[in-house]
Amino acid sequence: MLLLCILSGCAVLASKEVAVGCQAGDMITTVRALRLSATAYETNPFPLPLLFALKIALAVYIWKSDWWDKAPEEGRIAVNILACSPIPGNLKAAKG
């Protein structure tokens, strides 16, 4: 998330590297929050293994398909913001 703030140009926010990195970052911080804090919780209705499988599938799809390059820049930025937005909350929950 800090990297997004430092490199806040639209080209960075619309990159598929950011999308894949945020999916991985969200998964890592979710696991960390759940392991370190009893007050952490996942509000998504999907079971955690299914959620992780969906996130991995989305990251692979974004990385391998040409859809990402053809999508409008505004849409790619919106996807990246949504993908990165849970990370600060997960880090806060891990602190307790």
CA distances from 7 to 3, 4, 10, 14, 18 (A): 6, 5, 9, 11, 11
DSSP helix/strand/coil, 71: coil
Share of the chain above pLDDT 70, in %: 78
Please say if the pLDDT value at position 22 is more than 60.
yes
Q: In sequence order, which residues have a C-beta less than 8 Å from that of residue 18 and are 6 or more positions away? A: 4, 12, 80, 84
pTM above 0.75, yes or no: no
Check whether 10 has a pLDDT greater than 80.
no
For the chain, which residues make up each domain, given as ranges? Answer: 13-95
Euclidean distance between CA atoms 56 and 59, whole angstroms = 5
